[in-house]
Amino acid sequence: MYPANFDYKRPATVDEAIALLAQHGDAAKVLAGGHSLIPAMKLRLAQPKVVVDIGRIEALSYVREARGAIAIGAMTTHHEIESSAVLQARSPLLAETASHIGDPQVRNKGTIGGSLAHADPAADYPAAILALEAEIDLAGPRGRRTVKASDFFVDLLQTALEPNEIIVEIRVPATGKSVAYEKTEQKASGFALAGAAAVVSAEGIRVGITGVAAKAYRASAVEQALAGQRRPTPQAIALAASHAADGVEPLVDIHASAEFRAHLAEVNTRRAIERALARG
């Protein structure tokens, strides 16, 4: 397929990128790893006049420890996250989640910042990002700001990003080993029909769910049902997991009914919590 004509800009710094976006406004689209934008352009569903390629801004590609958290540059690829020794040792959920994305080619090109900014309702990261209570740093014409994961996902393909803003960093807390991501794949795309990420900490169990609704969400009803239980029984976990889709309106498409998505949310929530606990 052949995209419509466009200009290609490759800024070397974040400031240059922001300036280009400010200059071109709605006519510009940000290109990171290209796994959402380029297919859309090839199908001519997206026809930006200017493509601003931030994928080669080297300063945005890193994983490092910073004041008790792990900071990840927005242009870090899924493969780099999956294979990061720092993440595997200090916050393994994100590395495990990245290993579920697409195939090796996708993981070698796709970036965490690109994925979060696109906010596909069935992407894998959002479940983990929510369960980890990550922080997301955005840069724009008026400088930088930090958004909590719970405030970042707004609706289907909509985030807290303002026009002309880009994601620059994601910070996740160090966790123990008691984390897990469980996913049922949509058979064709490999995206999540339902994916559940669980984090067990001293303060309680946190669960993030993706694929089920128009945006990823924290399974608050599950978390509340398990509040105060340090080692919940299988029965308690199963009962709590039955609330995995409480209060959400599940998506419906040719791949799954709302009922089945809600059911898979429950199954994967239960499995993720069980596996996270088993690792502790």
Site residues (vs other proteins, CB under 8 A): 1-5, 43-44, 184, 187-189, 254-257, 260, 263-264, 267, 271
Of 43, 56, 49, which Cα lies nearest the Cα of 7?
Answer: 49
Q: Find the shortest distance in angstroms from Cβ 228 to other proteins.
A: 27
How far apart are CB 254 and other proteins at their closest, in Å? 5
Contact predicate 169/72, CB 8 Å: yes
- For other proteins, the closer CB: 22 or 278: 278
Helix (H/G/I), strand (E/B), else coil: 182: strand
Residue among 43 and 278 whose Cβ is closer to other proteins: 43
Contacts of 72 (CB under 8 A, 6+ apart): 62, 63, 81, 87, 94, 112, 169, 170, 171, 172
Q: Which is nearer to other proteins, 2 or 8 (CB)?
A: 2
The nearest distance, CB 256 to other proteins, in angstroms, is: 6
Give the other-Cβ count within 10 Å of 96's Cβ. 20
Contact partners, residue 16, CB within 8 Å, separation at least 6: none
Residue 187 C-beta: closest distance to other proteins, Å: 4
Nearer to other proteins among residue 62 and residue 260 (C-beta): 260
Closest C-alpha among 161, 168, 238 to residue 229: 238
Nearer to other proteins, 46 or 267 (CB): 267
CB atoms within 10 A of CB 19: 15
Minimum gap (Å) between residue 253 Cβ and other proteins? 8
